[in-house]
Structure 1
Amino acid sequence: MADENEEEKKPGIVGKIVKLLTRLVMAAVLLGAGFAGGWFYFANPMSPAQSALSLLAPEPVDETAEGEGEGEGDGEPARIPREMPETPLFVTSYYQMDEALTTNLHNSRQYLQIGVGMSTQYGEQVTANVETHKVAIRSDILGVMSNFTEEQVAGADGRTELASAIKDTVNHRLEQLEGFGGVEDVFFTSFVLQ
């Protein structure tokens, strides 16, 4: 009696094959749906940059065709295509120092605290170099800051001069250590004079 119950509970070879075929069909359906979704999502043959440029520059209008769409025949002015700039556009990478830099100013009891950010269009290698040598760069920036007086940094021109001096110092340090500077601009993310 126990043997009959066990035989009824165990599926036969046909049941196993049906179960296996069902699983294979389900896997094929899911795989096909995944491929179809991927093809639909990635079917655009243009890169994102080409898509953006095609939005900026409309397609040229055939001015020889008369009476079709927009043109002089309709009393509307003809579309003039925009010219694309000859100079290539570069990607700007930014790097921001983690902590604000604080030092006293030259011949003053005032302190200057700044947050420093830098930009480059020479790629991620420059920002990686700044990150690698940030201890030396922080020290150099503090030295530059302490050479400025309170009157020099109080105005916009003084801040521009300080940013330029920091940029030159950072590039000099990177040239010594890596053979290439690459920092093109310095920004103050915070500027506190106390």
Structure 2
Amino acid sequence: MSAAAAPAAEAPKKKGKMKGIVMTLVMALVFGGGGVGAGLYAAGAGLAGGHKEEAPVDPNMPQLVKKEGAEDHGAEHGEKKTLPMGFEVEKSPDPTKYKASYYTFEQPFTANLRDSDGFTQIGLGASTFYDQKVLDNLKENELPIRSAILMVMAQQDSFTISTPEGKLALQKGLKDAINETLKQRTGFGGIDNVYFTTMVVQ
């Protein structure tokens, strides 16, 4: 009876020992794989001493215009900055390094307000830190840009547009509309800001 019991007692010990070895291997693979993944992420993000090569600048695309005497601290030609996980944010050029150029729309913009019989009329200008190509794109595409601006203006209501916050929101909406139209028509936006030269709300 004792001879039969001995092999039965050894079998669970072997199974327990094997389970421990398998668990150790699995843990090593998990931590090792995590370390490799973290290393690859760090190298891709430029955190681990790897130098990420910049894409060559397309000479046909608009280029930033440097101010005289401004130091070069790396290229800022991209309009977007990529964050981890693929998120992108708009990246505005540094106004202390780059020279702004201005464009004024000759004709004012007039649109009815959304919630009343009133209307608003604005004179508008735009600025860019990029070269003459962006200003040329504005001139060549003024008709679709005017249409996009009027669409944004027609969405305004008389109360909101009368407040400072409403005017700032309108300014941002107009900038976004111009950039979106330019991107659709030319593949590049480049407008940094818009400015009201006149504004009448009635």
TM-score, with normalisation over the residues of structure 2? Answer: 0.53
Query: What residue in structure 2 maps to residue 163 of structure 1?
Result: 171
Residues 19-168 of structure 1: matches in 2 within 5 Å?
Answer: 49=68, 89-168=97-176
Unpaired segments ≥5 residues, structure 1? 1-48, 51-85
SS of residue matched to 1:164 = helix
SS of residue matched to 1:184 = strand
Unpaired segments ≥5 residues, structure 2? 1-67, 70-93
**Structure 2 counterpart of 1:139, one-letter code:** S
Per the TM alignment, residue 87 of structure 1 is displaced from its structure 2 partner at its CA by 9.0
TM-score, with normalisation over the residues of structure 1? Answer: 0.55
Query: What residue in structure 2 maps to residue 26 of structure 1?
Result: none
Per the TM alignment, residue 88 of structure 1 is displaced from its structure 2 partner at its CA by 6.4
String of CA shifts for 1:99-137, please: whole Å, max 9, x gaps: 100011102111100001000001111111011000110
> Quick one: distance in 2 between partners of 1:96 and 1:87?
20
**Structure 2 counterpart of 1:176, one-letter code:** Q
> Quick one: distance in 1 between partners of 2:142 and 2:107?
11
Query: What residue in structure 2 maps to residue 188 of structure 1?
Result: 196
String of CA shifts for 1:125-160, please: whole Å, max 9, x gaps: 111101100011001100100001011100111000
The percent of aligned pairs where both chains have the same amino acid is: 35
Larger Rg: 1
SS of residue matched to 1:99 = coil
Structural RMSD (CA)? 2.3
> Quick one: distance in 2 between partners of 1:154 and 1:186?
18
User: How many equivalent pairs are there?
Assistant: 114
SS of residue matched to 2:98 = coil
SS of residue matched to 2:191 = coil
> Quick one: distance in 2 between partners of 1:168 and 1:177?
14
> Quick one: distance in 2 between partners of 1:87 and 1:174?
22
Query: What residue in structure 2 maps to residue 28 of structure 1?
Result: none
**Structure 2 counterpart of 1:119, one-letter code:** S
String of CA shifts for 1:54-104, please: whole Å, max 9, x gaps: xxxxxxxxxxxxxxxxxxxxxxxxxxxxxxxx9962110000100100011
| Structure 1 residue runs of 4 or more that deviate by more than 6 Å after TM superposition | none
Task: Please tell me whether residue 177 in structure 1 is matched to residue 189 in structure 2.
Answer: no
Higher helix fraction: Structure 1 or Structure 2? 1
